[in-house]
Chains A and B, each alone.
Chain A
Amino acid sequence: MYFLEQLESFGEIVLTLALDPRNIIILLCSTFLGILFGCMPGLTATLGVALLTTLTYGLEPSTAMISLLGLYVGAVYGGSYPSILINIPGTAAAAATALDGYPLALKGEGGRALGITTTASTIGTVIGTIFLALLAPLLADLALNFTSFEYFLLAFFGIVISGTLTSKDLVYKGWIAGLIGLFLATIGRDRLQFFPRFTLGSTELEAGLDIVPVLIGAFGIPQIIKVIVDRETLGEIKKFARILPEFGAILRNLKHIVRSSFIGVGIGSVPGIGEDIAGWVSYGTAKNTSKNPENFGKGEITGVISSETANNACIGGALIPLLTLGIPGSPPAVMLLGALMIHGINPGPMISFERPTFILEMVAILLLASISMWFCGIFLAKQVVKLLQVPAPIFMPIVAVLCMIGAYALGIRVFNVYLMVPLGIIAYFMTEMDYPIAPLVIGLILGPMADENLRRALMVSQGSFMPIFTRPVSLILFLVMIYMILGQIPFYKKREKAFFQKLFGRFKLVPKNA
């Protein structure tokens, strides 16, 4: 009965949203804008969401979410265009798509590849949406039992796992980035005692660092500098014929789609990792489980489908911890969290009480966004590709100006722009030295939560850390973090490898590729 009531509410919400022409126009425009952001190398979904947050802050929360989610979905999908047509991923999420997408374009099947990615991305988003609808209420119910220790450990867990999995070089560079983010979060007056910390006597810093300018600085400025300094140019764009939905190819690859969706949702729901890892893991899994792995990299349709389905399914997965715990599952979700907070919505387990239909609204918006993405992809791809030919040195200065006004507009403070530029330059140097930025922004967003909850938890336990070991969820989070940290120590790694070799040997379990 409850399920039927929820389904009825969901149907009403979808109809209410879909029957308002204003919502449809905003959705189509923002999805198209998202595809543009995704397909221009150097622009990212996160930057797009950050800039659009500035434009939508005066709108109703549901209208703002329609535009932001439309852009997010479009941007993740849009990265496949340059991946396929010019072998340059538009976003990191589409990097794996280039491996088989570009060879298809070289064979004159660029239109076919785009049709496949459009339909596969739509299906991936829809499956991610279904998981969001099913799992979010369950996780929200579970999270109601969380106390301050769990929230503190969740914040640290997000930073540790994000730092571990997103570091290209040494893993502790990711942790350093996370700790820098936590430090930035402590600047300003602390929330419990209102004591000024690290304000250097400046009244501007007493309010702390605004999230949006820092995110624009961290994601936007390094990209602008990189594209301009490295003189990134697009190659010749391969021509393509009409784009067709390719339902036949989709049906033949149904099992890959389902598996890739599970991978995408699973990776998306882990804090701070994001669509790029989902794309690579899914591609790698498809290749390893294929009967003909030698075909991968030469225009194998399964490779394109696996990567694109996973990176779009990741969107729904990233929204699960975002809406239920207030912990973003990917960098664009970090920006969405900032946008939600600006609109007075505080995601977390209490969301079901404060706004009972909010999760269903987000599910409905995501579903409509996936349909909008499909239409834009099938009918407007050629227009998008024309815009791809705008030279980067023309586009990037415009983005730089948008970053300046975007950082300024939300707080109407020029100080935010003053802050954005040096933070952006520091973020640029960090990315050049292989420090991942995602843990830094996760640390910045979750820092206040970690700080407050740690002190609150210790107040309740009178300074004792024992509840970490007596509460099951805290203990699991703590042990997982310790395992991830110890896993980076060579001494422990050798012992662990020897242990598992002995274990497999005892049960005569031989790995598949041995």
Chain B
Amino acid sequence: MENTTLEKRRKADFKTGLLLLAGSIWILFESFSFPMKDSYGGVQNVWYVSPALFPLGVSIGLIFLSLLLLRRAYVDGGTHRLFTFTYKGSLSDRTWRFISILLIFGFSTYLYLPHVDFFITVMLTLIVMTTVFYFDHQKLQIQYTLAFVGSSCLMVLLFASGIANSLIELNIYSIDILSVFIYLGYVIYCYWHIPKDQKDLVRKFKVSVVVSMVIPLFLCPAFKFGLLVPLPKEGIVIELMSIIRFSAF
């Protein structure tokens, strides 16, 4: 058992060792392109003043250590059946959860954060993360993740095709409104797919919805009006909050 664990770890080490070696060779070659002895910015270089000195030292160190890692991995059996792939029929629950969290992080950060009102982004991120992981139900987890990914891909298509820009020209808050519809659609989809005999899941669903609405209600005003931090994207909801804040107080 221990040998299998060690072998698995060393297999991973061998692959990362190769990646590290490739990366450090790239750093080395890049460093050679930095000024070593020519004049730059009015400064005459010698090797010990060159901006290449430190990266060269780091890359040589990394190359040496990656070779040591590769050697260790080889000695401990890390190259044994290195490129064999055993298909187990389906992905494990752990793998699905990892893929889900990567997808949620990815779409939230790269799609919604820069383009959608921050309040709505937080609501969407929270509802998806809590329903996918809090329910602790593998089938629902996969369904909900795919629903979120599907609707996000639709958004990506809108931006890629330029339709989003046309919508924004029509109405500046159109993408925010669309995101609210995605949120509502997702909530309905979640509720629709909960097995009706599972009262515990219904309770968890209600908690998830409450959390997704309450947290941004505290977070956004705290940063916007308390810490005076302009939020990444201030759309329909944040503007509304600003109107209420500055007309009421």
Chain A interfacial positions (CB closer than 8 Å to B): 55, 57-58, 169-170, 172-173, 175-176, 179-180, 182-183, 186, 190, 192-195, 197-198, 221, 224-225, 228-231, 391, 393-394, 396-398, 400-402, 404-405, 408-409, 412, 414, 417-418, 421, 425, 433-434, 450-451, 454-455, 458-459, 463
A401 pairs with B126, CB closer than 8 A? yes
A175, A186, A434 — most chain B CB neighbours (10 Å): A186
A183 pairs with B27, CB closer than 8 A? yes
Chain B 39-60 near chain A by CB (<8 Å), digits 1 or 0: 0110101111101011100110
Given A225-B98, A404-B113, is A463 in contact with B46 using a C-beta cutoff of 8 Å? yes
- Cα separation A418 to B113 with both chains bound (whole Å): 10
Chain B interfacial residues counted at CB < 8 A: 62
User: Distance (Å) between the CB of A233 and the closest chain B CB?
Assistant: 9
Residue of A nearest to B215 (CB): A398
Residue of B nearest to A443 (CB): B58
Chain B interfacial positions (CB closer than 8 Å to A): 9, 12-13, 16, 20, 27, 30, 34-35, 40-41, 43, 45-49, 51, 53-55, 58-59, 61-62, 65-66, 68-69, 72, 94, 97-98, 101-102, 105-106, 108-110, 113-114, 122, 125-126, 129-130, 133-134, 136, 207-208, 211, 215, 219, 223, 227-232
B30 pairs with A198, CB closer than 8 A? yes
A-B contact pairs, 26 of them (CB 8 A): A55-B227, A176-B69, A179-B61, A183-B62, A186-B55, A192-B51, A197-B34, A224-B101, A231-B136, A393-B129, A394-B130, A394-B211, A397-B125, A398-B215, A409-B223, A412-B230, A414-B114, A417-B113, A418-B109, A433-B16, A434-B9, A450-B54, A454-B54, A458-B48, A463-B47, A463-B48
Number of A-B contacts (CB under 8 A): 150
In the bound complex, residues from chain B placing their C-beta under 8 Å from that of A183 are: 27, 55, 58-59, 62
- Cα separation A63 to B136 with both chains bound (whole Å): 42
A433 pairs with B58, CB closer than 8 A? no
In the bound complex, residues from chain B placing their C-beta under 8 Å from that of A224 are: 101
Kindly list the 10 A-B residue pairs having the minimum CB-CB distance in the complex, ordered from nearest.
Answer: A458-B48, A397-B129, A393-B134, A393-B133, A190-B51, A451-B54, A195-B51, A463-B48, A409-B229, A229-B97
A193 pairs with B69, CB closer than 8 A? no
A228 pairs with B97, CB closer than 8 A? yes
- Cα separation A221 to B101 with both chains bound (whole Å): 10
B223 pairs with A186, CB closer than 8 A? no
- Cα separation A182 to B230 with both chains bound (whole Å): 32
In the bound complex, residues from chain A placing their C-beta under 8 Å from that of B40 are: 193, 195
Select A179's contact among B41, B47, B62, B134, beta carbons within 8 Å. Answer: B62
In the bound complex, residues from chain A placing their C-beta under 8 Å from that of B9 are: 169, 433-434
Given A58-B227, A401-B126, is A417 in contact with B98 using a C-beta cutoff of 8 Å? no
- Cα separation A179 to B54 with both chains bound (whole Å): 11
Using A176-B66, A409-B227 as known contacts, list a sample of 11 further A-B pairs with CB atoms less than 8 Å apart, ordered by residue number in A. Answer: A172-B65, A193-B41, A197-B30, A225-B98, A229-B101, A393-B133, A400-B129, A425-B105, A454-B54, A455-B53, A455-B54
- Cα separation A264 to B72 with both chains bound (whole Å): 34
Residue of A nearest to B228 (CB): A58
Select B232's contact among A172, A195, A408, beta carbons within 8 Å. Answer: A408
A190, A229, A396 — most chain B CB neighbours (10 Å): A229
Residue of B nearest to A190 (CB): B51
User: Distance (Å) between the CB of A202 and the closest chain B CB?
Assistant: 14
- Cα separation A25 to B104 with both chains bound (whole Å): 37
B13 pairs with A455, CB closer than 8 A? no
B65 pairs with A179, CB closer than 8 A? yes
Residue of B nearest to A58 (CB): B227
Residue of A nearest to B97 (CB): A229
In the bound complex, residues from chain B placing their C-beta under 8 Å from that of A176 are: 20, 62, 65-66, 69
B13 pairs with A433, CB closer than 8 A? yes
B20 pairs with A421, CB closer than 8 A? no
A172 pairs with B69, CB closer than 8 A? yes
B51 pairs with A412, CB closer than 8 A? no
Residue of B nearest to A227 (CB): B133
A186 pairs with B232, CB closer than 8 A? no
In the bound complex, residues from chain A placing their C-beta under 8 Å from that of B47 are: 463
B65 pairs with A400, CB closer than 8 A? no
- Cα separation A425 to B101 with both chains bound (whole Å): 11
